[in-house]
Amino acid sequence: MLPAYNALQTELEQLREHGIDVARLWFLGDTLGYGPQPLDVLLKMYELLGQHSNHIALLGNHDKGVLDILDGVANTSIVFDNQRITNTLFKDHGLTHIQKHAPQLNASHASVKWLKTLKPQAIPFKKAGYFLAHGQFMWEDQSEIDRLWTYGTENSTKRQIQISRMIKENPTPKIPVRLVMNGHHHVVGLWRVTITDTSIIEEEFTDLRVGTWQEFDNLSARPIMLNVGSISLPRGAGHLPCATYVILDVDETNYDTIRLQFRTLQYDTSELLNKRGRMPIGYAGRGILREQIQRTLDCQSNYEEEA
């Protein structure tokens, strides 16, 4: 959503003023798919991420839905690797939004062409053992559907499936899995994984702090699974139900240790709502959206005080 994007830009400027130079931006997907002003958001994201080789943007399931409609795929289905999947995978309000966003975009515009080049997962450093995924990270010969649709960190079963496959089927075992960052779920969470000869055990890390650097070491033996939440539509669960993002301090001479800092955004959502305090007509589920974006105002100050 546009107010979230504008707030993030302000935040990046403030970080620079405080001596934190953000060299790389990693965006985990769903530029499109919710709320008004999709064209404005896409153009700004293209300007921010699409023309800088250091930055990474992933394709989200909502992005894929909009692109399929632009490409002439029937609105009742989404296509993954030539497999036609029913759009009932979208909740009703999600389906309505992608159908509303698609006609507002120009398929020949550079920003849309850029969006079509995106993938649902990425490996940002060749030898780090760090992995980014919109849905669930999968090795190249595995399911494209899971990469876009499966919530990689939603529950213990899905986390176990993701991390165990990544470790056991790692095609480059000399580079251990150290960090997996997932989007899609909109719920913040961090889990440490202990690897033994006979098992893979996860433990949730609950001491998440806003505005404070936290260090994690020995990642090759105890990898991290991390969901960074959402800056525009936090879903109000987990330990940080606000609009969140994460700063990583990566030492490229020692990938086995990282520092990270959770940060939250607050911004004015009034431009998203009409005079009656609702989303524009035609956006199904607008009551749900209003509730979600209001959290960026309601919970921000509480976490800043605790930090």
Predicted local distance difference test score (pLDDT) of residue 158? 93
pLDDT at residue 303, rounded to an integer: 44
Nearest to 74 by CA among 83, 82, 84: 84
For residues 66 and 88, give the distance between their C-alpha atoms in angstroms, rounded to a whole number: 15
The Cα 287–Cα 148 span in angstroms is 25
Q: With 80 as the cut, is the pLDDT of residue 84 above it?
A: no
Place 91 in a pLDDT band, splitting at 50, 70 and 90.
low
Q: Above 70 in pLDDT, residue 221?
A: yes
* 138 in Cβ contact with 145 (< 8 Å): no
Architecture of domain 2-306: 4-Layer Sandwich (3.60)
CA dist 181 and 200 (Å) reads 18
Whether 31 and 63 have beta carbons less than 8 Å apart is answered as yes
Q: Helix 92-101 crosses helix 286-298 at what angle (to 10 degrees)?
A: 90
Tokens representing residue 289 in the block = 């959206």
Residue 288: count of CB within 10 angstroms of its CB: 16
Flag whether pLDDT at 307 surpasses 50. Answer: no
Terminal CA-CA length for the chain: 26
Mean pLDDT of 222-247: 82
Q: Give 196-212 pLDDT, tens digit per residue.
A: 877 888 899 989 888 89
Residue 168 has pLDDT above 80, yes or no: yes
Rounded to 5 degrees, φ, ψ at 31 are -65, -40
| Mean pLDDT value across residues 267-289 | 57
Residue 299 has pLDDT above 70, yes or no: no
Average pLDDT over residues 281-289: 52
Residue-wise pLDDT tens digits, 95-109:
677 777 888 888 899
Give the residue-averaged pLDDT of 43-56.
90
Q: Interior CA angle at 116 toward 114 and 119, to 5°? A: 100
Rounded-to-integer distance, Cα 76 and Cα 144, Å: 19
Cα distance between residue 54 and residue 20, in whole Å? 16
State the average pLDDT over residues 154-174: 91
Where does the chain have alpha helices with state H? Answer: 2-17, 38-45, 61-70, 92-101, 110-117, 144-149, 156-168, 286-298, 300-306
pLDDT band at 69 (very low <50, low <70, confident <90, very high): confident
Q: What is the mean pLDDT of residues 117-139?
A: 94
Two tokens at 304?
Answer: 């800043």
CA torsion sign for 24, 182, 242, 37 is positive
Spatial distance between the Cα atoms of 66 and 160, rounded to a whole number of angstroms: 31
Give dist(CA 113, CA 102) in Å, integer: 14
Query: Phi, psi at residue 302, to the nearest 5°?
Result: -60, -45
Domain ranges of the chain: 2-306
- For the four alpha carbons of 16, 294, 298 and 28, in that order, the dihedral sign comes to negative
More confident residue, 143 or 67: 67
Q: Which residues of 144-162 are buried (b: 16+ CB within 10 A; e: fewer)?
A: bbbbbbbbbbbeeebbeeb
* Portion of the chain with pLDDT greater than 90, in percent: 38
- Residue 274: the pLDDT is 57
What residue type is 255 in one-letter code? Y
